[in-house]
Amino acid sequence: EKGGFDHFMLKEIFEQPITIADSLRGRLVLNEDRIILSGIDAIKDKLMAARRIIIVACGTSWHAGLVAEYVIEELCRINVEVEYASEFRYRNPIVDADDVIIAISQSGETADTLVALERAKQQGATIFGIVNVVGSSIARISHAGCYTHAGPEIGVASTKAYTAQLAVLMLLALKVAKEKGTISAERFTELSQELNNIPEKVQWVLDNEVDNIKAIAFKYKDAHDVLYLGRGYNFPTALEGALKLKEISYIHAEGYPAAEMKHGPIALVDDQLPVVFIASKDAYHEKIVSNIQEIKARKGKVISVVSEGDEITPSISDDVMFVPVVDEVIAPLLTVVPLQLLSYYIGVYRGLDVDKPRNLAKSVTVE
Ligand code: F6R
């Protein structure tokens, strides 16, 4: 049942080229420059006219929401807010009929997300669900939605469900941007191609980087704390990398926007602290290089996720994990993969039950 893999988590990480392709299949129609998301049709007018989009989710799904905030604001020019379902449901939020709520959930059964949606629905909001489990509670209370096609996710730590969520959110952003006219025809084609190429780029990481990542995992398996830093589209990737490490290895980890570091967390840096930088080539690359130099100046150990062909970042890092060159908007679908593998192997080297980390349940149906 684990298909020859030692754990479901590893199997699910390796399934991602297929599950991402499955989530794009029939939806991304490259030769016609078109995206078909029939789930949107029922609420299309609301979505086009939306004054704002509120994304409601928990945990890893909330990280997918954060990526979507960057992508939807950039491509569609719609104001996006991303809310922890547990906070949103208790704070008497301002929601009205012009708001579209996007709920993101792998299980479709997360209690906090479900109740938050029920409340928002009562207040007149339109609910769009991005859910993996077909027929689940969140799928059923949504006005419309779009399933992720990740297949059953057994490992408690979410991996392939996350990248499937990102794939669907990218499709949604591209489709809305095209319909609203907020993206040029060239950029639409370019990003569609990039999205289409993601499965093979993820496969490249799985084919070429695993031995390297194992060695890095072995080297840092006894760390007490790890900092994850990223900027822009890869800031949520830093949060997700840190969450994966906490869950799987029980090592304390924090994700931060790289520039926030100097407002506090830099005090943690000494020659014992590993700092993971998500430093794939993007518009902020020079900035992240200077953030790396700030850590090196304080003798921190730098592990960087870098784009193939980048020579500067590896020269100032202690360890590097390569990914193929990718457009910055689509990058989160790719840059998270080495971080999933790093957490997995650190957990394994620490002798832990990576498929069933202590204290965690696959779906959190109590608040
Ligand atoms: C992390 C993880 C959790 C879930 C969260 C939401 O690896 O699995 O943080 O992402 O409990 O679950 P869903 O997406 O089922 O609503």
pLDDT by residue (tens digit) across 200-227? 999 999 999 999 999 999 999 999 999 9
Q: Ligand 1, atom 4: nearest CA belongs to which residue?
A: 59
Catalytic residue flag (residue 362) = yes
Using pLDDT thresholds of 50, 70 and 90, give the confidence band for residue 71: very high
Q: What is the whole-number distance in angstroms between the Cα of residue 316 and the centre of ligand 1?
A: 35
- Our mutation pick for probing the ligand 1 site, out of 106, 156, 162, counting the most ligand atoms within 8 A of Cβ, is 106
Enter the pTM of the model: 0.97
Using CB distances shorter than 6 Å, the residues near ligand 1 are 58-61, 105-107, 110, 113, 157-158, 243, 247, 363-364
- Kindly tell me if the per-residue pLDDT of 49 is higher than 80: yes
**Cβ contacts of residue 77 below 8 Å, gap of 6+?**
180, 182
CB 323 within 8 A of CB 278: no
Distance of CA 224 to the CA centre of its chain: 24
pLDDT given at position 367: 76
Q: Give the nearest ligand 1 atom to 161 CA.
A: 14
Using pLDDT thresholds of 50, 70 and 90, give the confidence band for residue 174: very high
pLDDT given at position 92: 85
- Kindly tell me if the per-residue pLDDT of 366 is higher than 80: no
Alpha-carbon distances, residue 267 vs 49, 93, 253, 273, 316 (angstroms): 46, 36, 15, 11, 20
* Mean pLDDT value across residues 29-33: 91
Residue 306, strand partner residues:
279, 322
Structure tokens at 13: 């990480």
Rounded Cα–Cα distance for residues 54 and 78 (Å) = 10
Helix (H, G, I), strand (E, B) or coil at 124: coil
Q: What is the whole-number distance in angstroms between the Cα of residue 81 and the centre of ligand 1?
A: 19
Q: What is the whole-number distance in angstroms between the Cα of residue 102 and the centre of ligand 1?
A: 16
- Which ranges in the chain belong to alpha helices (H)? 8-14, 16-24, 38-41, 44-49, 59-76, 85-88, 111-122, 137-141, 160-180, 185-208, 210-220, 235-249, 285-297, 312-315, 332-349
Rounded Cα–Cα distance for residues 260 and 228 (Å) = 12
- Kindly tell me if the per-residue pLDDT of 179 is higher than 80: yes
Structure tokens at 5: 């893999």
Q: Ligand 1, atom 7: nearest CA belongs to which residue?
A: 157
- Our mutation pick for probing the ligand 1 site, out of 9, 61, 163, 169, counting the most ligand atoms within 8 A of Cβ, is 61
Among candidate residues 320, 305, 289, the one with its CA nearest the CA of residue 216: 320
Structure tokens at 60: 């890893």
Rounded Cα–Cα distance for residues 281 and 119 (Å) = 41
Indicate the Cα dihedral angle 269, 63, 30, 281, nearest 10°: -10
CB 262 within 8 A of CB 289: no
Q: Give the nearest ligand 1 atom to 362 CA.
A: 8
* Mean pLDDT value across residues 90-111: 93
pLDDT given at position 117: 95
pLDDT given at position 108: 97
The percent of residues above 70 in pLDDT, for the chain, comes to: 100
* Mean pLDDT value across residues 286-310: 96
CB 69 within 8 A of CB 55: yes
Among candidate residues 365, 48, 352, the one with its CA nearest the CA of residue 221: 352
Segment 102-146, tens digit of pLDDT: 999 999 999 999 999 999 999 999 999 999 999 999 999 999 999
pLDDT given at position 358: 80
- Kindly tell me if the per-residue pLDDT of 41 is higher than 80: yes
Segment 316-334, tens digit of pLDDT: 999 999 999 999 999 999 9
Structure tokens at 146: 């779009």
- Our mutation pick for probing the ligand 1 site, out of 13, 55, 56, 60, counting the most ligand atoms within 8 A of Cβ, is 60
Q: Give the nearest ligand 1 atom to 159 CA.
A: 7
State the ipTM, two decimals.
0.99
316-320-323 Cα angle (round to 5): 125
- Please pick, among 44, 121, 296, 362, the residue that the annotation labels catalytic: 362
pLDDT given at position 356: 87
Distance of CA 345 to the CA centre of its chain: 20
Q: What is the whole-number distance in angstroms between the Cα of residue 60 and the centre of ligand 1?
A: 5
Q: What is the whole-number distance in angstroms between the Cα of residue 20 and the centre of ligand 1?
A: 18
